[in-house]
């Protein structure tokens, strides 16, 4: 089994030319980041919670968390487990009456649940090795920073993330989502 690396949600970004949303996870004990493309609804769900904005009525992820709570399911953690054909996979690790539950989920949905219940977020180290990004890695010129041959498709993605200059959520910018 792969070692798990604890992460935090750093920010939600928008790639301006395409309008695509990206959640940026940051390694808790280092300066490595993991960008994951997500849909607008999931981006809004994560952003609402991170910025402390509470909608008048529960949105889908709030509803899911409410249902889990109503049936006494406790979410322990979420894990981004793998990356295959540029698609990330995740699991929600939960408990019900002492029984472990391992629930398949999209990373964006798992993260939206995790930020609502205060669950820890982990990424398998092999996923972070393949898709993680170090800030300004290309400018430092180290050969070790270059992607492996099988990850060449991710190079364009890394360059796009490193070039983004958008404000982070929750950093004295009220009202943004």
What distance in Å separates the CA atoms of residue 172 and residue 167, rounded to the nearest whole number?
A: 10
Write down the pLDDT at residue 60.
95
pLDDT at 115: 97
CATH of domain 4-163: 3.10.690.10
- pLDDT tens digits for the chain (177 residues)? 679 999 999 999 998 888 899 999 999 999 999 999 999 999 999 999 999 998 999 999 999 999 999 999 999 999 999 999 999 999 999 999 999 999 999 999 999 999 999 999 999 999 999 999 998 744 444 444 444 444 554 555 555 555 555 545 444 444 443
Entry pTM: 0.78
Terminal C-alpha separation, the chain: 37
- What pLDDT is stored for residue 136 in this prediction? 73
The DSSP string of 29-70 is TSS-EEEEEE-HHHHHHHHHHHHT---SS--HHHHHHHHHHH
174: left (phi over 0), alpha (psi -120 to 50) or beta: beta
Please give the pLDDT value at position 168: 55
State how far the Cα of 131 lies from the Cα of 124, in Å rounded to an integer.
11
C-beta separation of 112 from 55 below 8 A: no
Name the token pair of 97.
Answer: 């009456």
pLDDT of res. 142: 46
Question: Residue 167, SS3?
Answer: coil
């Amino acid at each position: 089994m792969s070692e798990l690396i604890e992460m935090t949600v750093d920010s939600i970004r928008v790639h301006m030319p395409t309008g695509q949303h990206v959640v940026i996870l940051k390694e808790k004990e280092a300066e490595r980041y993991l960008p994951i493309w997500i849909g607008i609804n999931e981006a809004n769900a994560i952003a609402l919670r991170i910025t402390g904005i509470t909608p008048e009525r529960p949105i889908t992820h709030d509803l899911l968390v409410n249902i889990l709570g109503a049936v006494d399911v406790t979410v322990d953690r979420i894990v981004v487990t793998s990356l295959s054909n540029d698609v990330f996979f995740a699991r929600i690790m939960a408990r019900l009456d002492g029984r472990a539950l391992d629930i398949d989920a999209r990373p964006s949905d798992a993260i939206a649940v995790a930020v609502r219940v205060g669950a820890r977020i982990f990424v398998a180290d092999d996923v972070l090795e393949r898709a993680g990004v170090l800030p300004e890695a290309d400018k430092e010129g180290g050969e070790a920073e270059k992607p492996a041959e099988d990850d060449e498709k991710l190079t364009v993605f890394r360059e796009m993330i490193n070039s983004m200059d958008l404000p982070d959520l929750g950093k004295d910018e009220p009202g943004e989502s």
